[in-house]
A and B are shown apart, each in its own frame.
Chain A
Amino acid sequence: MALNYFQPLFDVIRDKDRCIKCQACARQCANEVHRYDGDLDKMISNSQQCVDCQRCVCICPTSALKIVDNPNKFRNNSNWSQQTMTEVYKQAETGGVLLSAMGNPKEYPVYWDKILLNASQVTNPPIDPLREPMETKVFLGKKPKDVTFNEDGSVNTETTPTLELSTPIMFSAMSYGSISRNAHESLARAATELGIFYNTGEGGLHKDFYQYGANTIVQVASGRFGVFKDYLETGAAIEIKMGQGAKPGIGGHLPGAKILEDVSRTRMIPMGTDAISPAPHHDIYSIEDLRQLVLSLKEATEYKKPVIVKIAAVHNVAAIASGIARSGADIIAIDGYRGGTGAAPTRIRDNVGIPIELALASVDQRLRDEGIRNEVSVVVAGSIRSSSDVVKAIALGADACYIGTAALLALGCHLCRSCQTGKCNWGIATQRPDLVKRLNPNIGYERLVNLVHAWDHEIKEMMGGMGINSVEALRGNRLMLRGIGLNEKELEILGIQHAGQ
Chain B
Amino acid sequence: MKKVYVNEDWCLACHLCEYYCAAANSGAENMIKAFANGNKPIPRIRVEEGSGINFAVQCRHCDVPLCVKSCITGALSVKDGVISCDESRCVGCYTCVLACPYGCIVTSESSKVISKCDLCMKNNNGDPACVKGCPNKAIVLEER
Contacts and interface: CB of A to CB of B under 8 A. Distances in A.
Tell me, yes or no, whether A binds B: yes
Interface stretch (A6-14, A21-29, A287-295, A416-424): A21-29
A500 interface: no
Interface string B6-39: 0001111111100110000000000110110000
Interface stretch (A149-157, A204-212, A235-243, A434-442): A434-442
A28 B138 contact: no
Contacts of B138: 440
A304 interface: no
B9 A24 contact: no
A260 to B, nearest CB: 13
Contacts of B133: 61
Interface string A181-212: 00000000000000000000000000000000
Interface in A8-63: 17-18, 20-24, 27-28, 58-59, 61-62
Interface string B47-81: 00000100000000000000000000000000000
B35 A437 contact: no
B15 A20 contact: no
B12 A437 contact: yes
Given A440-B137, A440-B138, A61 B19 contact: yes
Interface of A is mostly: loop
Contact of A24 (B11, B15, B32, B52): B15
A462 to B, nearest CB: 34
B137 A27 contact: no
A437 B9 contact: yes
A371 interface: no
Contacts of B35: 20-22
A24 B16 contact: yes
Given A20-B32, A27-B14, A443 B19 contact: no
A433 B50 CA distance: 13
B16 to A, nearest CB: 5
A27 B136 contact: no
A20 B31 contact: yes
B52 A22 contact: no
B12 A433 contact: no
A336 to B, nearest CB: 34
B10 A440 contact: yes
Contact of B16 (A17, A18, A59, A433): A59
A28 B14 contact: yes
Contacts of A62: 31-32
A62 B10 CA distance: 22
B126 interface: no
A96 to B, nearest CB: 32
A288 to B, nearest CB: 50
Nearest to A60: B16
B135 interface: yes
Contacts of A437: 9-12, 136
A27 B15 contact: yes
A24 B135 CA distance: 11
B10 A61 contact: no
Interface of B: 9-16, 19-20, 31-32, 34-35, 52, 133, 135-138
10 contacts: A18-B32, A21-B35, A22-B15, A22-B35, A23-B15, A24-B14, A59-B135, A437-B10, A437-B11, A437-B136
